[in-house]
Chains A and B, each alone.
Chain A
Amino acid sequence: MKNGKLLSGDEAIALAAWDAGVALGAGYPGTPSTEILESFSELGGHAQWSPNEKVALEVTIGAAFAGARALATMKHVGLNVASDPLFTSAYTGVDAALVVVSADDPGMASSQNEQDNRRYAVAAGVPMLEPSDSQEAYDFTLAAIEISERWKIPVLLRVTTRVCHSYTVVHPGGSKGAPKAASFARDIKGRVMIPAYARLAHRKLRQKLAEMQEWNESCQLNRVVPGSEKLGIITSGISFMHVREAVPEASVLKLGFTHPLPMKQIIQFAKSVKRCLVIEEGDPYLVEAIRAQGVWVEGKPDMYRFGELDVPRVRRILDNDVSPEPTKPAGKPPQLCDACQYRIVFESLRKRDCIVAGDIGCYTLGVLQPFEAIDSCVCMGASIGVGLGMRHVLPSDQARRVVSVIGDSTFVHSGISGLVEMVYNPPPNGHVLIILDNATTAMTGHQEHPGTGRSLNHEPTNKLVLEDLVRAVGVKRVHVVEPRMGSEEFDRVLTECLNSDELAVIIARRPCILIVKQLKQYEQRGQNCECDPKGANVEQGN
């Protein structure tokens, strides 16, 4: 184990990006992907938080068009937001490497769903690599860069919570060729996707995929662990590790390059063993693809589609055991901090019996006791549209109680277009939007966002002033309130807005109590700096 470093999968991806000379990393925070860009920045890389994943991917596409290696990072649901540029960048291709990291969360340690983003590789037609540990996270990031530049196509690096957040030994192996200098080369037909050119590009994409599939048949990213002829297991990602521990005697086909699949190799393996079983977390992606070739392989019983796999579950799958699993005793659920200002907001919403279209962030904890003051939570930004939809159709006595609640980072991520909708299609009794501005992206570990006036590494930058934006969009009734224990002000403003029958936005502003100390340091740093001084100020209500 000499010279090995213990790195998380996220850190290993960042280190590989650094070693390979990635010129720009962009993303939006989201567990379990957040630490990739944070580590890349600490290593000295140019890393940026974008307002959302779509913009992040677009920024990296631009960098890759311009001939620089680029990395986009996001959690699985972030790729939904970024899917529009993803699908068409598969057509345009790239000039230098573009690696798109999708960090999936089977079991939902910290997510609103457990979608399996391997489906995106198929749907968009991009190659996909799936590492099993931090060493592979490192190696596969380098391989993704190589594949991306060889076929001039974005590569999906699909990881999961246990790969991102487990620390395993890594022997960094250096870079795969130096990056070339960024320089613009015009390619109008290749990059301007009007129908006439896109038709050509689609054919080209299918051609690339066919070539990659052929190449994948003998690719080192897939390997066979020889073992018993009686039992063969086809697997990928973290499941490989559970399989090796649960059944060390089995022969295993470990797939690393999982789209387009090396079908010849898979079929040959399946035929070489008596019992062939596919063990994969989440959707039956591999099973379905293999069976579609007319080859019978066993899959897992449906109950194992839910949640993560682990060693005991793999043993049960092998035994085809579908008896109920032992339930784990419940731990202590998270809760809003004792001194959190959101408590005041939720108490007030409860007291007024509001119908609350909620959003995603720390404040979603307002759904739990003692508040139980959130009535919906779908995806980031949805609070505004969902609240408006309810206001439009409910009888007025109910409609008047509907409130949308959104965090500051979430508002910038995808709430702004909801706000435009609110002004463009106002419900008959108006609407009330509360923006919870705690000067950070608290939920994912306190990342900066455009509204904080600081960039990813906490250095001052231009600041998006939320109340100015809200007014510019056309909302007349805008209140900035500091929710304080023992003060009735927030409750009074809320009541006023609810009774006004107008469009109203309340910005409830007070920095998250967990970062008060850091904010002071950032402020001081900002004062010693030549940049726009406004960028470093934390406005504490007014």
Chain B
Amino acid sequence: MSSKVTNIVVAGLGGQGVLKGTGILADVALRAGYDVKKSEIKGMSQRGGSVTGDVRFGKEVFSPMVPNGEADFLLVLEPTQVEPNRHLLRPGGVLITPEAINTDTLPHKRTLNVALLGALSAHLPMPEDQWLESLRAGFEETFFEGNKKAFLIGRKSSQARQAS
């Protein structure tokens, strides 16, 4: 395991499932045996304002916050939130937005956060079944099939992009 910490920021608007997304991400990293920290600013998130959540994992993580300009991955659920958060990304870091996937194919609009996690997952070392385990544990059982489908749509489109 390299000593480098992986930094991920998820951004969107209140109600889009940003914090659910960082929860799944942190859980899968924990299952994979990493030290993990997840940080979020809640406050008025329910009133439709901007929300961001940070997840960092590696051998040992100190600060729970991703420093400006050091995010390896920036996941944005809402196009208007790209510019306000772009400064978080390091040079050469990967931006993942809803454009990465064909959102029409999603089982439900609400699964966008999970589909983007799928797109992210193609860049990360955790195996697919660990992700699915976290998805199963993180939501009510009835949502699992829909989430699995959305996750795999995201994951495949990202893999296809990397291959091309």
Contact = CB atoms under 8 A, between A and B. Distances in A.
Contact of B44 (A110, A162, A169, A244): A110
Contacts of B26: 6, 167
A110 B42 contact: yes
Interface residues of B, number: 38
Contact of B62 (A161, A242, A335): A242
A244 B30 CA distance: 21
B37 A332 contact: no
A331 B50 contact: yes
A1 B41 contact: no
Contacts of B80: 332
B36 A169 contact: yes
Contact of A312 (B36, B41, B64, B67): B67
A241 B62 contact: yes
A177 B34 CA distance: 32
Contacts of A109: 41-43
Given A332-B81, A335-B49, A242 B42 contact: no
A334 B37 contact: no
B48 interface: yes
Interface in A439-491: 443, 445
B159 interface: no
Interface string A38-63: 00000000000000000000000000
Interface in B20-63: 23, 26-27, 30, 33-50, 52, 61-63
A312 B63 CA distance: 11
A335 B84 contact: no
A2 to B, nearest CB: 8
Interface in A328-381: 328-337, 362, 365
A337 B36 contact: no
A166 interface: yes
A237 to B, nearest CB: 12
Interface of A is mostly: loop
Given A109-B43, A110-B43, A514-B46, A330 B63 contact: no
B130 interface: no
Contact of A162 (B39, B47, B61, B83): B39
B68 A312 contact: yes
B47 A31 contact: no
A325 B14 CA distance: 27
A31 B62 contact: no
Contact of A1 (B34, B65, B85): B34
Contacts of B81: 331-332
Given A1-B34, A4-B30, A6-B27, A168 B49 contact: no
A343 to B, nearest CB: 13
B87 interface: yes
A395 interface: no
A496 interface: no
18 contacts: A4-B30, A6-B27, A109-B42, A165-B40, A167-B26, A167-B36, A238-B63, A241-B62, A241-B63, A310-B63, A310-B65, A312-B68, A328-B68, A330-B84, A331-B50, A336-B47, A365-B47, A443-B44
Given A241-B63, A310-B68, A332-B81, 7 more contacts: A110-B42, A110-B43, A166-B37, A326-B68, A329-B85, A335-B49, A337-B48
